[in-house]
Amino acid sequence: MKTNSKGTIPLCPHKGCGFKCCDFQQTNSIFMYPGEIEQARAQGKSMAHLQVLDSDYHGGVRVRCWAKDTGTCDGGYKPLDCASYPFFPAPARAANGHNGGDLVMLTKDPECPIRSFEIPLHQRFVRDLWQRLFERDASALAWARAIPPEDRYEPIEDAVRESAEARSPQPDAAIGGSAD
């Protein structure tokens, strides 16, 4: 359900998880960066499936999803948090003060059975999405930095292996099918 331009991971159908990530997202909450809701509305996207739980979550918004058709988000907007799943950014300050750049680290939801190193393309896709956002939007970067550790996933495992595999084999693209 969640890498292509919509964040779909072709490996998902092979994990036997029953596509539970929307359940995780619906049970917990979804983080939206400052201005994300307004941008989605300006694009004419429906937000009817998203209930605002906290309208000032460190400057962003925390929502809960009530979509009945999770495959399509009820035809509405799919937050960047959802497109990033099972990852979420953890921007680190660069020593030289550079905004984002190579320092968009990722955390991963341990409830998702996929190992991070199995989906290097999705890692790259998610890093690129957030890096581009942080480079053009300082408020989004400040928001991501402000999210407290207790609200974050865990640092991705096998970081060294992941970074090595992200540069060469592409197992998440090698398996056909789509979980969307």
Residues of the shown chain interacting with ligand SF4 in the complex, contacts defined by CB under 6 A: 1-2, 9, 12, 15, 17, 19-22, 25-26, 30, 65, 67, 70, 73, 78-79, 82, 85-86, 112-114, 179
Which residue lies nearer to ligand SF4 by CB, 85 or 130? Answer: 85
Which residue lies nearer to ligand SF4 by CB, 101 or 177? Answer: 177
Least distance (Å) between residue 95 CB and ligand SF4: 33
49 phi, psi to nearest 5 deg:
-85, -5
Which residue lies nearer to ligand SF4 by CB, 50 or 147? Answer: 50
The set of residues, in sequence order, having a beta carbon less than 8 Å from that of 14 and lying 6+ positions away, is 175, 177
Which residue lies nearer to ligand SF4 by CB, 100 or 121? Answer: 121
Least distance (Å) between residue 59 CB and ligand SF4: 21
Residue among 119, 116, 114 nearest 171 (CA): 119
Query: For residues 17-56, b (16+ Cβ closer than 10 Å) or e, as one string?
Result: beebbbeebbeebbbbbbbbbeebeeeeeebebbeeeeee
Give the C-alpha separation, 60 to 103, whole Å: 21
Least distance (Å) between residue 50 CB and ligand SF4: 6
